[in-house]
Amino acid sequence: MADQADSKTDAKAATWPKAEDRRLLGQRISRLDGPAKASGRAKYTYDIKPPGMLWGKMLRCPHAHARLTALDVAPAQGMPGVKAVMAVQKPGAEIQWSFDEIAAVAATSEALAEAALKAIKVEYEVLPHFVTEEKLAAAPQVNPGKEETEGDAAGALAAAEVKIKGSYFAAPVAHNCMEAHGQICHWTEPDHLTAWCSTQAVSGAASQFAEGLGIPAANVRVIADYVGGGFGSKFNVDRWGIVCAQLAKLANAPVKIMLDRHSELAVAGDRPSAFAEIEVGAKKDGTLTAWTSKSWGSGGPGGAGNPPLPYVFQIPNRKHQHSAVPTHRASSRAWRAPNHPQAAFLTMSALDDLAAALGMNPYDVVAQNLSITGRLEKIYREELEIADQLMGFRQRWHPRGDATKGPIKRGLGMSLHTWGGRGHRSNCEVTIHPDATAEAKISSQDIGTGTRTVIAVVLADSLGLPLDAVQVRIGDSRYPASSASGGSTTVGGVSSATRRAALAALDQVFAKAAPELKAQPEELEAAEGKIRVKAAPDRSLTWKQAMALFGRSPVTATGANPGAGNLTDSGVGGVQMADVTVDVETGILKIQKMVAVQDCGLIVDLKTAESQVYGSLIMGISTALAEEKVIDPVTGMTLNHDFETYKMAGFGDIGELVVRMMTGPGYDERGVIGVGEPPMVSPLAAIANAAANAIGVRVPWAPLTPRRVLDALSTKGVA
C-alpha cells in the first residue's frame, strides 16, 4: 500500500525555491505535448469515435424573436439511419435569438441526420426583434446601471484648462476557437455517462451533466485530453451537451454533437459590444483632473458588459454610468480579460485625444499621471521605460498627422492595462514510483496554454528530477478536482497545488532517508537526481536508493490551492506600443511593429509565458484590423457566419512582435500569476492610437477597417 501524506503535511507553509536553486523554473522549455500536436497524434474531442457512434444534429430557429407554435418530429422518426429524435423546446416557447435549438436527431451519418432535420415540421409566430444597439436612443429597452461618482466631476470639468469630448465604439467579437464547441456522450451503464468534451471546465462539466440529466455527479466522467481553444467560451456544457447525452440514451449508442462554424458563430457566444461618450479634463501640464462618461453595450437578452471606466487611472473627479441594452442575440461569454479590452480602448483613445489637444506626447501624459494608477505605479514606470527603449517611442513620435509626402502615413500609439490572475482552487496528487519516476494528476485541462508543461516543470524542479522522469495526467474528471481555466487563474492554481503535493511527498522521502544519511529531514534536499545533505552534498542517495527504502510501494501525497504559504498572487500590469502605417488612399492599415512589456510574477516557463503574449498580440491585432460579428438588423441573423466572411488577420498582417517579460527581484517574490488575459487588453487601444497619430484624425469605431479609416479621413477633408 502506498505511503500516504498525513493531513498535517500541507499545513507547512510552502515556498518557491530561491533563484539560485531553480533548475527548471523560469527557463525556456518547449511544450511537452508539442510533438503530439505537430504530428497529429494528439486526439481532440472531434477525433474521438467510439464504436457505433452516431452523429447528432440540431434543428435551429431562423428567427431572432419568435414563438414556437407547432412542432412535429414524427416525420423524422423511422427514416433510414435515424436512431433517435427529440423535441428540445415545446410549442409555446418564446425564442430570443436566431439559431436557438428547437429539435435534435441522431443518425448513422451526418448526411442522414441533416435529412432528418429537414423532415421535421415546425411553425413560428414571428415577433419584433432588436439586434443593433449602436444608437442608444433607438433601443426599445435600456437597463441603466448605478451612477458611479468620485469627487466633483462636473465642477472639475468646467474648471479644466484643457478638455475634450469624444465618442468611441467597439463592435462585438467572436471567439473563433479552432475546435468548435461540442462533445461525444456515451452511456457505459444505464446511469453512468462518459463524455468527451471540448471544455475549459472538466470538473465543472461533470457536475453540469449530472444536474441536467438528474444523475449523481459521481456517475459522470468527463475527458478532455486536448482542447482546441476556449478563450472564455467553453465553461458550460450548454443545452446541446445535455441534448447530446439524452440522444445517446434514446439511441443506446454514443452520440457526437459538434457545432458547425455557422452555429458556432451564431450561438456560442462573443465579446459584447461597448460604446461610450467621454469627456476628459486636465491641466496644461497634462495632469488629469476630471472624467465623465456614459457607456452602453449588449451581449444578448440581458445586455452585458460593464467596462471599468476610467481604466487604470483613478482620476480624482469622475462620474460614470453604464447601461445594458437587451438584444435578441445569443448571450455573450467571457472573452479573454472580460470588459478590459473595451475599457482600455475607450479610455486610452480619450486620453490620446486629450494629449493631442494638449499638444503633448501621449507618453508624457501617461507618465505624468502614473501616480493615480495605484499599487502598480512602480511596475508601470519600469515597463514604460523598457517599452520606450524597445520602440523608440519618445524619439520617433510626431504630432498627429504624418507630414511626409505620399499616401503612406506612419504613426505610434500606446496603451497600458492590468488584470488579476490569482490561482484558482486546485487539487493535485503526486506519486513517486519505486523506479524514481513521478507523476502528477489534476483534472484541469490544457486549452492550448501549456498547462501540461507547467505542471511538469514544477514537479520536476520540486523533486530534483529531470523532465523526462515525470509525467502529467490531466483532462479527466476522475483526477483531483480543479476549477475551470479562466481569468488567467489556471497556472497559479495548478502550479501551487503541484508544488505543495510534491513537497509533501518529498517530506516522506526525507523522513525515510534521513537516518540513512545520518541527518535530520530538514537538513536534506532533492537536487541533481539525488537526495542529499545540503551542507554535505557528497552524503547522498540516488532517487532509486531512496525509494528502495519504501520497498515496492510508491509514495503518494496531495496538495491544494489555496494552502499554507503564498505561492500565487493577483494584479499585474503591462505596457504596449504600436507602430503602424496607413494608406490614406485605400484606408489599409498595416502593423509594422508591436512591443509588449508584461509582468506575471514568478515565471514557471519563460517560453510558454512569452507564447501567451505573442498569441495575445496576434489576436489583438486581428480584433483591431478586422474582427466584427455582423448582425442583420432586418432578419436578426449573423451575416458573417464562416471563416470566409468573418475576417481575421493573417500572417502578413502581423508585423514585428517584440515581447519582454518582467522577471527578477521585485517580481518573482509575488509568486505565480496568470498571463493569459492581460496582454490581450491593450493591442486594440495601442493600434487605434497609432492610426490616429498617423493620419491626424481619430477612427472612432473598432475594428479599423479600410472603409472606416476612409470615413474618418473624409471628415478631415483628406479623402
Confidence check: pLDDT of 607 > 70: yes
What sign does the dihedral 467-471-474-478 (CA atoms) show?
Answer: negative
Residues 617 and 148: their CA atoms lie apart, in Å, by 32
pLDDT above 90 for 9: no
SS3 of residue 352 by DSSP:
helix
| Nearest one of 187, 250, 243 to 50, comparing CA atoms | 187
Say whether both 509 and 406 belong to one domain.
no
Whether the per-residue pLDDT at 320 is higher than 50: the answer is yes
In order of 68, 101, 333, the CA distances from 94 in angstroms are 6, 12, 22
Q: Could you tell me if 314 and 408 lie in one domain?
A: yes
- List, for residues 123-155, the tens digit of each pLDDT value: 999 999 999 999 999 999 999 999 999 999 999
Residue 716 has what pLDDT? Answer: 79
Question: Using one digit for the tens of pLDDT, what is the confidence trace for 442-487?
Answer: 999 999 999 999 999 999 999 999 999 999 999 999 999 999 999 9
CA gap 373, 268 in Å, rounded: 35
> Is residue 593 helix, strand or coil?
strand
What is the number of other CB atoms lying within 10 angstroms of the CB of residue 680?
28
Cis status, amide bond into 310, omega within 30 of 0: yes
Residue 157 lies in a domain: no
Claim to verify: residue 675 and residue 712 sit in the same structural domain: yes
163 found inside a domain = no
**What is the chain's length?**
719
| Average pLDDT of the residues in 322-341 | 97
Q: How far is CA 289 from CA 300, 414, 653, 688, in A?
A: 35, 21, 38, 24
Q: Are residues 599 and 530 in the same domain?
A: no
Of 258, 293, 315, the residue at which a domain comes to its end is: 258
Cell numbers representing residue 12 in the block: 507547512
Q: And the C-alpha cell for 368?
A: 505624468
Domain at 220, CATH number: 3.30.365.10
Nearest to 192 by CA among 219, 159, 162: 219
Instruction: Say if residue 245 is in the same domain as residue 313.
Output: no
Q: Are residues 471 and 493 in the same domain?
A: yes
In a domain? residue 521: yes
Say what percent of the chain tops pLDDT 90: 97
160 assigned to some structural domain: no
Per-residue pLDDT band for 718 (boundaries 50, 70, 90) equals: low
* Domain membership flag for residue 147: no
Q: Residues 191-226: pLDDT tens digits?
A: 999 999 999 999 999 999 999 999 999 999 999 999
Range 642-667 average pLDDT: 96
Any idea of the CA torsion for 519, 523, 524, 525, to the nearest 10 degrees?
A: -170
**Same domain for 680 and 698:** yes
Task: Give the model confidence (pLDDT) of 477-503 as tens digits.
Answer: 999 999 999 999 999 999 999 999 999
Same domain, 582 and 655: yes
In a domain, 264, yes or no: no
Reported confidence tier of residue 4, pLDDT bands at 50, 70, 90: very low
364 and 308 share one domain: yes
Does 607 reside within a domain? yes
For helices 451-463 and 490-516, the axis angle rounded to 10 degrees is 20
The single-letter DSSP state of residue 273 is: P
Domain that holds residue 557: 3-43+425-561
Q: Is the peptide bond before 537 cis (omega within 30 degrees of 0)?
A: no
User: 208 and 317 in one domain?
Assistant: no
**Beta-carbon neighbour count of residue 595 at 10 Å?**
25
User: Among the listed ranges 4-18, 99-113, 317-331, which one has the minimum average pLDDT value?
Assistant: 4-18
Q: Which 8-state DSSP code applies to residue 14?
A: P
Of 132, 160, 193, the one marking the end of a domain is 132
Q: Do residues 14 and 504 make contact, with C-beta atoms less than 8 angstroms apart?
A: no
* Distance between CA atoms of residues 227 and 225, nearest Å: 7
**628 shares a domain with 538:** no
Whether 565 shows a pLDDT value over 70: the answer reads: yes
Per residue in 272-308, pLDDT tens? 999 999 999 999 999 999 999 999 999 999 888 899 9
d(Cα 491, Cα 497) in Å, to the nearest integer? Answer: 10
- Quote the number of domains for the chain: 4
Please check whether residues 35 and 73 belong to one and the same domain. Answer: no
Note the pLDDT tens digit of each residue in 345-360. 999 999 999 999 999 9
CA atoms within 13 A on the CB side of 537: 5
User: 234, 258, 282: which is the final residue of a domain?
Assistant: 258
Tell me if 582 sits within 8 A of 408, measured CB to CB.
yes
- Flag whether 171 is in a domain: no
- CATH number for the domain spanning 99: value is 3.90.1170.50
